[in-house]
Structure 1
Amino acid sequence: MSRDDKGTISVRLVNEALLAFTSAALPAEQLLHQLGLVSVDLTDTDARIDVADFSKLWRRLARHFDDEFFGMNARRMRAGSFAFVCRAAMAQQTLDGALRVALDFFGLTFEGFRGELSRSESLAEITLSETSNVPPLRAFSYFTFWMLLHGLACWLVGRRIPLLAVELRCDEPDYTDDYRVMFSRNLRFARPTTRIIFAAEVLDLPVRRSEQELHSFLAHAPSNILVKYRDTTSLASRIKAQLREVPAEQWPTSEALAQTLCVSGSTLRRRLADAGQTYQAIKDQVRQEMATLWLADASITYAEIAERLGFADVSSFYKAFRKWSGTNPGQYRSLILRADEPIASRFP
């Protein structure tokens, strides 16, 4: 995703959203016209549309077909379902209770998969138990489900909940850039199960939302989910992209970085502060991204990871990882590698 794509969605995801509703008799362009939406060149895979337009598409498809899940399940998620689950979840005291209520609701709504929340020491995971011997859903289906659930969770506690990993049963699609911005750079495909992993400490956060806040949230959904609760800071994204290109020990100082961005050091610090960021925080975010990727590879030792990230020793890496993620590298590696074990609970 380019640095100018804040607040936009790839036209490839528009095609994904329309896929279940189109046919030879009703091509995508005709459907868009029927819905009263601005014509989009769906053949231009590099094109992007404003998030507000994608949100409008979502709402009009939901009303027209009485389905808030883009026709991707045998059971429709009838219009008004998301509002209902939001209201039920916000009545809970903590995010833990809210997520369990939401997962119960979605379990009754959809056929073929059910989400299960569990804790493992300082980590939490939500795993989708799917019907045995059924091919995996397409990536867009999984990500749409996670967007609804994760977006709701972020809104309930009023902060972004970082996802340490997102794993999916399906193969990697041709396009993943927007998904990596919306959810996590640590996306893993063709996995035994579909799940998200995050710090368990957020489950204890209180839910304090009013009916008035709910009305505002729903009035702007899903565009507020797509934009507000993701990393869309253009400057931070540009800096992260630069840091990912070189080893950690070669990362520039803030003054050297400012020169590459053609601004003064003080201007860089001010612009980052205006966005609620610091250069150190951005470096830590990139280090965490890299650490979570390497921890999923059992052949890479903790000492090697610490060295790659520029830490003096393994102990310093352990302390930093716990500060970033709320867990230690050993617990995370244990949970991420456990995915290869058989799933005990599946639908018959």
Structure 2
Amino acid sequence: MTSEAQTTADEAAVSAIARRDSISVRLVAEALLGFVGPRLSAEQLLEEIGLDPACLQDPDGRMDVRDYSQLWLRLARRFDDEFFGMDPRRLRWGSFVFLSRSCIQQPTLENALVHALSFLGLGLENLHGKLIRSQSLAEVVLRERNPEPARAFCYFTFWMLLHGLACWLVGRRIPLLAVELRCAEPDYTDDYRVMFSDNLRFGRPSTRIIFAAEVLGLPIRRSEAELQAFLAEAPANILVRYRDHSSLSSRIKQHLRSLPAERWPDSETLAQTLCISASTLRRRLAEAGQPYQAIKDGLRQEMATEWLADAAISYGEIAERLGFADVSSFYKAFRKWTGINPGHYRNLILAPARR
């Protein structure tokens, strides 16, 4: 292949990847909701900020993440509010830049999170976050002034700002073991599960995210030049890419979920089920950075965290469902996946609200 042809192929590959980076139109409508009313419709608002209102016509449609990023920025400029009009106090234009710049001055992620939560607590009236460490687990709990819960989009926007910034500060994705919200489950949650965690729990006593406490000690080592590059791409770079549900890994997970864990196939048998060769399966998973074993471990972890939140399911039953020989093997695997003890996780996730 000539260099020109190779360049064309590479550009086509990049374009194909970019097309998959998208946000549901349902979340576009959510972003507009705080600003529309009898005198300004969603379609009129989109036209006013220079975006095509036709995108709202298909509720199952998707918007390119770069266009969604422009939506966020233009709404923030238009209304001087980076929180989509969801709080009596506007999170004024430039708040995220100021927050990011001040957070890179902090020595560790724990200091940065405390600082960020204090800053957001000053900027917002209804939401005040607090970082709580509980042995090997950490949680950020939102204390709310309003007795009635906010809509899910409000909570997820808060987590997007906080979690997205935190991941960039330490240069790695911080896995969330659970996301709990006071509100009822909305009609659409697919993008939220991709952005944050498959383990979303609605109608809970408090709104919080739970993660391994070990990340709190990670150092903040970001330069001013890195900050400028980060801010130039924000908020697109803190919007997690949408998962293509037709992808190979998604098809594999769907197949595994249909079987008891002890009957999960080896890679050769799986390849036959998918009507491809074993070598092709390994190659395609390697290209996606998702080895078969990692897919199985990730699915076991998702199932384990889901079942640990149900007090009626014993540790022995969870171990059996996941295909482990005994509870001890399950404990060892869970600590390897998450860095924490499953008993500690269950105690925290089932603990009554202490806010």
TM-score relative to the length of structure 1: 0.93
Following the alignment from structure 2 to structure 1, what is the Cα–Cα distance between the partners of residues 227 and 126? 29
* 1:19 and 2:36 aligned: no
Following the alignment from structure 2 to structure 1, what is the Cα–Cα distance between the partners of residues 253 and 230? 30
1:135-146 superposed matches below 5 A? 135-146=148-159
Following the alignment from structure 2 to structure 1, what is the Cα–Cα distance between the partners of residues 270 and 223? 43
* 1:36 and 2:36 aligned: no
Aligned residue number for residue 346 of structure 1: none
Following the alignment from structure 2 to structure 1, what is the Cα–Cα distance between the partners of residues 198 and 297? 14
Identity within the alignment, %:
69
Aligned-residue offset at 1:232: 6.7
Question: Letter of the aligned partner of 2:289 in structure 1?
Answer: G
- The CA deviation string for residues 198-237 of structure 1, in whole angstroms up to 9 with x for no partner, is 0001111111111111111111111111136x87794333
Q: Which moved more, 1:46-55 or 1:247-256?
A: 247-256
- Residue number among 177, 194, 198 corresponding to 2:190 in the alignment: 177
**SS at 2:337 equivalent:** helix
Aligned residue number for residue 330 of structure 1: 343
Larger Rg belongs to: 2
Aligned-residue offset at 1:4: 11
Tell me if structure 2 keeps the 8 A contact 1:182–1:231. no
- Residue number among 95, 104, 107 corresponding to 2:121 in the alignment: 107
Structure 1 residues 224 and 155: CA distance shift in structure 2, 3 A = same
- Residue number among 201, 215, 228 corresponding to 2:228 in the alignment: 215
5+ unaligned residues in a row in structure 2: which ranges?
1-16
Aligned residue number for residue 84 of structure 1: 98
Following the alignment from structure 1 to structure 2, what is the Cα–Cα distance between the partners of residues 190 and 6? 31
Aligned-residue offset at 1:87: 0.9
- Residue number among 196, 199, 205 corresponding to 2:209 in the alignment: 196
Aligned residue number for residue 286 of structure 1: 299
**SS at 2:130 equivalent:** strand
Report how many residues are paired: 338
Structure 1 residues 232 and 81: CA distance shift in structure 2, 3 A = farther
Aligned residue number for residue 130 of structure 1: 144
Aligned-residue offset at 1:60: 0.5
**SS at 2:329 equivalent:** helix
- The CA deviation string for residues 50-72 of structure 1, in whole angstroms up to 9 with x for no partner, is 11111110011011111110000
Following the alignment from structure 2 to structure 1, what is the Cα–Cα distance between the partners of residues 236 and 254? 25
Question: Letter of the aligned partner of 1:246 in structure 2?
Answer: L
**SS at 1:127 equivalent:** strand
- The CA deviation string for residues 146-188 of structure 1, in whole angstroms up to 9 with x for no partner, is 0110000111111111100000000111111110111111000
Tell me if structure 2 keeps the 8 A contact 1:14–1:54. yes
- Residue number among 50, 59, 64 corresponding to 2:73 in the alignment: 59
Following the alignment from structure 1 to structure 2, what is the Cα–Cα distance between the partners of residues 257 and 5? 29
Q: Which has the higher contact order (CA 8 A, sep 6+)?
A: 1
Aligned-residue offset at 1:123: 0.5
5+ unaligned residues in a row in structure 1: which ranges?
344-348
Aligned-residue offset at 1:35: 0.5
Structure 1 residues 102 and 310: CA distance shift in structure 2, 3 A = same
Tell me if structure 1 keeps the 8 A contact 2:121–2:128. yes
**SS at 1:99 equivalent:** helix
RMSD: 1.8
Runs of 4+ in 1 over 4 A off after TM superposition: 230-233
Question: Letter of the aligned partner of 2:228 in structure 1?
Answer: H
